Structure 1
Amino acid sequence: MALTLVLSNLVLAVFGFTLITGLPANILAFYTFFKKVHQRSTPMDVLLLSLTISDLIFLFFLPFRMVEAANMKWTLPYFLCPLSGFIFYSTIYNSTFHLTAISVERYLGVAFPIKYKLKRDPRNAVIASVIFWVMSMGHCSIVYIIQYYNSTNVNFTAPYMRNTCYDEFSREQLDILLPFRLELFIVLFLMPFLICCFCYIKFILILSNLPSINAKKRYRAIGMALGTLLVFIICFLPYNVSHVVGYVQNKSPDWRVQALLPSTFNACLDPFIFYFSSSALRETFRNILQKLSRKFLQPCCRSALCCHLLDCSSTEEKTQSTTESSVEQHKLGRRV
């Protein structure tokens, strides 16, 4: 569909917000998981690292789509059109596979803690990640097939001669694309979503019946499970429903662009799921916040007025005051 001014601004706003918030968060997550994998890796760390790499690749290619939205047409070299589309869709479906694998790993760790702990091997997670990348990229290679498909209709303008990208398909292209999109919905979304629902529902039920687990850890784990399910529903469901609607209507829906927008939010929501899943990432976040607070808050507190308003006296002064107070109380106790 042709981009209107309103839709162009909406796409730019969504893509820009995703890029600004998602890029630093995923870089931080990549640093954390890369360091963790080299020190002492677990299957969860491998899966999270692979998912972070997928999100970073998605974010690096997002500016190409932003240029298209800003110009309301494709003005970049044509070879970037199928390449950016291939990366765009591959990383979206790669995320569904990885989030599903994380749910399976979480469920097995709670349902069969002893057996699974004995069989946990990071190499299995590496193999699974490679399979996910191959399956998502193999399926989404349809972008290249459709973009370079030679139509027999002499009145149909070849894609590379137009100023649109992965749009305005011929009848022959749609006869190939629409059934394939239905297969994408079933294999790359519906099956992972059902597996994820089963694992996290069982995961929540098991945690709810284990009173020995710390309440804070239990709520954090349940929050991670519910957050992942919400990501599936909010980010991936609308776009994949358009596949089914397009197959039923035998045409590409006009609202596919709007349905695709929530999928981009996944790249900036994943780090928040990582926060609940990884203690290493939580520790990294805390360290950075502490460094930022020392860098920006302490200079401010040198002002007497600011120190009075914020009550942010230095740690040394507070420690000294506490020590002096304790000594005085001790002396008073001895006198009494």
Structure 2
Amino acid sequence: MQRCHTGLCLSVYIITFVLGFPANVLAFYTFCKKVRQKPRPIDILLLNLTISDLLFLIFLPFKMQEAMDDMLWKMPYVLCPLSGFVFYMTIYNSTFFLTAVSVERYLGVAFPIQHTLKRRPIYAVAASIFFWIFSILNLSIVYIVPLISPDHSHQNPTSHQNVSATPAPVEQRKVCYENFTEAQLNVLLPVRLELCIVLFCIPFLICCFCYINFIKILSKLKHIDNRRRNRAIGMALGTLLVFALCFGPYNVSHIVGFIQWKSPNWRDKALLCSTFNACLDPIIFYLSSSAVRGTVGSMLKGAKTRLNRFISWPAFCSMGGGNSESSKERGSSTNTI
């Protein structure tokens, strides 16, 4: 059975939640406001990406509790497949929306006139619905695998650490989505390989193609000021880096697991890299959306104004007190005269 170090897992989960939740709430508010005023395909896609990240963060406390319990599932068992399903589904859903944003950006600079004429918000809505349904159908394996009955005739008594030869129902409920039987691995490992190819490799290749060409085209344009060009190039490179570092190790574990026909011991640590995606996506939002930058700027301006008022208030009070004392002294002097 895989054992994620409690301190490591909790640190990653807490950092992700503390940084990611308020940033994604801010992005959610901004994109909702933007979509209501003037819906654009890029804003609809980023709104769905934000919803996916928020859903991931809402269920992250279940993973925190699991890590605190030394990776044993002591909560109601019905929450185990639900939290696992949402956890994995939102991870792969993010790859789709990041890829869709890259395609939208590339088409905007490669074919600006044609793309502007044919761009419709309804296309982004249809694509978003398809991404959600496709991710849900693929990750339904989280619910299916525990229902597979063990095939005793094909089980190996000297099985690997993540394969339980004679799993009892009580033993299976002590951990969440681990200790798979040989029959369950026969279904799970090929599906993981399919998830790696369809939900990671293909979107990543599309994302690389779009952003590499996006950077090439921007580098040749002369009428764009350097600040906007550098910000757009930084957004493209940052997205590719987040894509590779956050989703790469976890999906590589699928390939290694299929070759070795068992879950790698480091798979749980590779999953931690995917967790960081929820707090890195807001950086992409900030670089790719002027509305988010405007909201952040107005919030910082408001916080600075309130801070200045708070700092100047004691001085104002002391000045007011001094003036009142001076007026009292003048009044008493007048009475004496």
Bin for the TM-score computed over the shorter chain:
0.7 to 0.9
| Equivalent in the alignment of 1:138 | 137
- Tell me the amino acid that sits aligned with residue 225 of structure 1: A
The answer to whether the 8 A contact 2:2-2:268 is kept is: no
Structure 2 gaps of 5+ residues are: 153-164, 316-337
1:50 aligned onto 2:48: yes
| Equivalent in the alignment of 2:305 | 294
The answer to whether the 8 A contact 2:247-2:273 is kept is: yes
State the distance in 2 between where 1:209 and 1:64 align.
Answer: 48
Residues 56-98 of structure 1: per-residue CA shift (max 9 Å, x gap): 0000000011100001110111110000000000000000000
Residues 22-62 of structure 1: per-residue CA shift (max 9 Å, x gap): 00000000000001001101000000001100000000000
How do 1:263-274 and structure 2 match up within 5 A? 263-274=274-285
The answer to whether the 8 A contact 1:159-1:165 is kept is: no
- Tell me the amino acid that sits aligned with residue 236 of structure 1: F
Residues 149-201 of structure 1: per-residue CA shift (max 9 Å, x gap): 22243822237753100001111111111111111110000000000000000
Larger radius of gyration: 2
State the distance in 1 between where 2:108 and 2:170 align.
Answer: 49
State the distance in 2 between where 1:25 and 1:37 align.
Answer: 18
The answer to whether the 8 A contact 2:235-2:284 is kept is: yes
State the distance in 1 between where 2:149 and 2:282 align.
Answer: 42
Q: 1:256 aligns with which of 267, 287, 292?
A: 267
- Tell me the amino acid that sits aligned with residue 199 of structure 1: C
The answer to whether the 8 A contact 1:148-1:159 is kept is: no
The answer to whether the 8 A contact 2:151-2:182 is kept is: no
State the distance in 2 between where 1:161 and 1:247 align.
Answer: 22
- Tell me the amino acid that sits aligned with residue 229 of structure 1: L
State the distance in 2 between where 1:190 and 1:62 align.
Answer: 25
1:93 aligned onto 2:92: yes
How do 1:323-334 and structure 2 match up within 5 A? none
TM-score of the superposition, structure 1-length normalised? Answer: 0.87
How do 1:300-319 and structure 2 match up within 5 A? 300-302=311-313
| Equivalent in the alignment of 1:118 | 117
| Equivalent in the alignment of 1:277 | 288
TM-score of the superposition, structure 2-length normalised? Answer: 0.87
How far did residue 2 of structure 1 move? 4.2
| Equivalent in the alignment of 2:232 | 221
- Tell me the amino acid that sits aligned with residue 50 of structure 2: T
Residue 167 of structure 2 aligns to a residue whose secondary structure is coil
Structure 1 gaps of 5+ residues are: 305-336
- Tell me the amino acid that sits aligned with residue 287 of structure 2: F
Residue 90 of structure 1 aligns to a residue whose secondary structure is helix
Residue 130 of structure 2 aligns to a residue whose secondary structure is helix
Q: 1:190 aligns with which of 176, 201, 225?
A: 201
The answer to whether the 8 A contact 2:9-2:67 is kept is: yes
Q: 2:65 aligns with which of 54, 64, 67?
A: 67
Q: 2:8 aligns with which of 7, 10, 33?
A: 10
State the distance in 1 between where 2:63 and 2:170 align.
Answer: 17
Residue 217 of structure 2 aligns to a residue whose secondary structure is helix
The answer to whether the 8 A contact 1:3-1:69 is kept is: no
| Equivalent in the alignment of 2:326 | none
- Tell me the amino acid that sits aligned with residue 272 of structure 1: I
State the distance in 1 between where 2:45 and 2:172 align.
Answer: 41
| Equivalent in the alignment of 1:242 | 253
> What's the % identity of the aligned pairs?
58
1:172 aligned onto 2:183: yes
Aligned residue pair count: 302
